[in-house]
Amino acid sequence: QVHLVESGGGLVQAGGSLRLSCAASGRTFSTYGMGWFRQAPGKEREFVAAISWSGDNTYYADSVKGRFTMSRDNAKNMAYLQMNSLKPEDTAVYYCAAAEIPTRQAAEYVYWGQGTQVTVSS
């Protein structure tokens, strides 16, 4: 079992920055790949970023490349998403998730947090 809780969401002006955190419980956290997904009202859930268990490899959706950075700290059982140059289209509920390996497919993630709202004003 891995329990995930996101935090750090809020309201920010376009062009600003926000840092999301994902706190994980469970001794097996370090063996999982981690991912961030987002879902806006009326939209499908979409892949944002993923990171390998070691933190050596990261993957990003084209829409966020160069703006978002994912990281993890296994000693603290934490994963992060640093979001810079935010745009109104980034507005969504952001979810962290854990999988056997990091992928871009939501179906491969077996543990999910409850989400944190990010709203970017124009």
In three-state secondary structure terms, 44 is coil
Q: For residues 58-87, b (16+ Cβ closer than 10 Å) or e, as one string?
A: bbbbeebeeebbbebeeeebbbbbebeebe
CA distance 82 to 84: 7
DSSP lists the bridge partners of residue 117 as: 93
* pLDDT less than 70: residues of the chain: 27-28
In this prediction, residue 37 carries a pLDDT of 98
Q: Is the dihedral of CA 115, 30, 100, 66 positive or negative?
A: positive
In this prediction, residue 8 carries a pLDDT of 97
Query: In this structure, which long-range contacts are made by residues 69-72, counting pairs with CB atoms below 8 Å and at least 24 apart in sequence?
Result: 70/34, 70/36, 72/34
The H-or-E segment that residue 94 falls in is: strand 92-99
